[in-house]
Copies of this chain bind each other. A is one copy, B any other.
Amino acid sequence: MNKILINGIEETRIDVRDRGYQYGDGLFDTIAFKNSKLQLWNEHMQRLQAGCKRLSLNTVDEAVWLDDIKKLNLSADAVIKISISRGISARGYAYNQRDANTRVTAAYSWPDYPADNQQGIIATFCNTPISINPALAGIKHINRLDNVLARNEWHDSEIVEGFMLDNKGHIIEGTMSNVFCILGDELYTPLLEQCGVAGVMRQQVINLANELNITVNIVDISQQNFLQMDALFITNSLIGLWPVKTIVDEKKSVNFLQNNLLDEINSKLEKKL
């Protein structure tokens, strides 16, 4: 499966002058379609609208997206990727607010994730630092060169994720996921005020922890503190939650043991979705 609509019409090509291609001037979002249902749809819509506001992009009504997705005629689990770019403009960074957005709605086959990942993955650290900009932090914009460079630092298929650090050595996120740490009976997750993407699944974990009266510390986490945590797990909209069983780098590997709090969060999150 691989079906793409551009502005609601089945089509695979866009104008090369689109500001998405010229400057990465746009946003995207990736949504799980599972058991005939769009997972966390309202939450994805809220983040997309917040991103539009931040970039002064004209928004697209929820009904328009839902109509596009209906046209995709999905008959199996799928990944839905939706994007908005600022459309075509004259050469140069200035844009005209009246210019029409480009809206892309695409369905991809559900990824063939190894079942083992739900028991725990192997992760590493990336050398490429994450891009710092408070004006762009949190939203899922199309300027993703830092993630691209970081993700392509390793080619060992046993390694599932790489953690990215900011210029002060704080752990921020994985190349395609957010990260949580467990220490004692509390959760820790990085502050995303200067950089990083505030994932929809990350917010679900924070909400769940609040319901369970588990403290979530949203703070700067150094690499050293990160490695001293009791347990780690990553989240995103497609994978849900995967524990980290091992972190490897050139010099050593650190293994994390089974953790009861992680197991509890994992099973309760699964029931909630």
Cβ of A34 under 8 Å from chain B: no
Report the Cα distance A250→B12, complex, angstroms: 46
Which residue of the partner chain B has the closest CB to A28?
B22
How far, in whole Å, are A235 and B143 apart by their CA atoms in the complex? Answer: 25
Once the chains are docked, how many angstroms separate the CA of A12 from the CA of B108? 26
Residue of B nearest to A94 (CB): B151
- Please classify how large the interface on chain A is, using the bins under 10, 10 to 19, 20 to 34, 35 or more: 35 or more
> Oligomeric state, in number of copies?
2
Report how far A24 CA is from B27 CA in the complex, Å: 11
Pair B133/A23 contact, Cβ less than 8 Å: no
Roughly how many angstroms separate A167 CA and B133 CA in the complex, as a whole number? 8
Q: Is residue A192 contacting chain B, with contact meaning CB distance below 8 A?
A: no
Contact B85 A21 (CB under 8 A): yes
| A148 at the B interface (CB under 8 A) | yes
Residues 47-66 (chain A) with a chain B CB within 8 angstroms: 55-56
Q: Determine how close the nearest CB of chain B comes to the CB of A193; give it in whole angstroms.
A: 11
Nearest B residue to A162, CB-CB: B93
- Say if the beta carbon of A229 comes within 8 Å of chain B: no
| A102 to B: closest C-beta gap in Å | 9
Binds B, one of A124-132, A181-189, A202-210, A214-222: A124-132
A268 at the interface (CB under 8 A from B): no
The interface residues of chain B lying within 8 Å CB-to-CB of A147 are 23, 93
Known: A12-B17, A81-B91, A175-B93. A131 touches B144 (CB 8 A): no
Question: Contacts A16-B6, A20-B21, A91-B81: A146 and B136 contacting too (C-beta < 8 A)?
Answer: yes
Given contacts A151-B94, A176-B92, is CB(A12)–CB(B15) below 8 Å? yes
A40 contacts partner chain B, Cβ-Cβ < 8 Å: no
Query: Given the complex of chains A and B, what is the CA–CA distance between A233 and B12 in angstroms?
Result: 44
Q: Is the Cβ of A132 less than 8 Å from the Cβ of B132? A: yes
Known: A25-B148, A56-B149, A95-B148; 12 extra A-B contacts, CB below 8 A, are A6-B16, A11-B16, A21-B142, A22-B144, A55-B149, A86-B148, A95-B152, A131-B133, A132-B167, A133-B146, A135-B146, A136-B145
